[in-house]
Amino acid sequence: MKIYAIATGAAIALTLVIAPPASAAVKEGAACKKAGQSSTVSGRKFTCIKKSGKLVWNKGVAVKKAPTAAATPAASAAPAAPAVNATPMATKSAEPSKSEAPSTPVITMERVRANGTSSSCWTVISGNVYDLTKWIGSHPGGSGAITSLCGTDGTSGFNAMHRNQNKPEARLAGYLLGPLAK
Q: Tens of pLDDT along 21-58?
A: 444 468 888 888 887 778 888 778 888 887 778 888 78
Phi, psi of 142 (to 5 degrees): 100, 160
**Rounded distance, CA 152 to CA 60, Å?**
23
pLDDT tens per residue, range 69-104: 554 444 444 444 444 443 344 344 444 444 444 556
pLDDT of residue 79: 46
Task: Kindly indicate the confidence band of residue 62, based on its pLDDT and cuts at 50, 70 and 90.
Answer: confident
Residues 106 and 181 sit within 8 Å (Cβ to Cβ): yes
- One-letter amino acid identity for 62? A
Mean pLDDT of the chain: 74
Q: Where are the beta strands (DSSP E) in the chain?
A: 38-41, 44-51, 54-57, 61-62, 116-117, 120-125, 128-131, 176-179
* pLDDT one-digit tens code per residue, 9-21: 766 765 555 544 4
Higher pLDDT: 155 or 90? It is 155
All domains in the chain, ordered by first residue: 2-62 (no CATH), 69-100 (no CATH), 109-179 (3.10.120.10)
Q: What is the pTM of this model?
A: 0.45
Dihedral over Cα of 13, 17, 18, 20: its sign: positive
pLDDT winner (highest mean) among 6-10, 61-65, 137-141, 154-158: 154-158
DSSP-assigned letter for residue 116: E
pLDDT for 164 equals 81
Give the three-class secondary structure for 21. Answer: helix
pLDDT at 111: 93
pLDDT of residue 160: 87
